[in-house]
Amino acid sequence: MRLRAIAIGLTVASATLGGCGPDEGVEVQGVHGTLDCPSGFASNTVFDQAPGQPGSPSPEAALAILTPDLNRPPGDPEVESDDGGTVIFLFTDAAGHRLGRVVVSRPTATWYVDAAERCADSW
């Protein structure tokens, strides 16, 4: 399945996390929830499915297609929410920082990546 990114946004936040040092960061309010970003910047990419492209048989298979160059967040994904037709994966690191989210949905019989948001930098 081929994905085309159609929009990229940049979000800046002002609430700091912690104090000084390497764990200092900023809570960024993303489209799908709060992220913990070192610099306070995040990007949000919305995907438009290329016409005629088949979907994936599961949310996990759709997520596996997303690569870092297509805005896949770093870290380990876990299902944050699942309403049966839309699954949101939250990506975290070992320290528990919320690094990004990927939204996949099933508009027909198969699954597609709809959006990916992530910190613009990493810890």
Mean pLDDT score, 77-93:
96
pLDDT digits (tens, 9 = 90+) for 15-74: 333 333 345 679 999 888 999 999 888 988 888 777 778 899 999 999 999 988 888 999
Q: Which residues contact 69 (CB under 8 A, 6 or more apart)?
A: none
Percent of residues in the chain assigned helix, strand, coil, to nearest 5: 10, 50, 40
Is residue 97 very low, low, confident or very high in pLDDT (cuts 50, 70, 90)? very high
pTM, rounded to two decimals: 0.79
pLDDT greater than 80 at residue 91: yes
Look at residue 123 in the predicted model and tell me its pLDDT. Answer: 67
CB neighbours (10 Å) of residue 36? Answer: 22
Look at residue 86 in the predicted model and tell me its pLDDT. Answer: 97
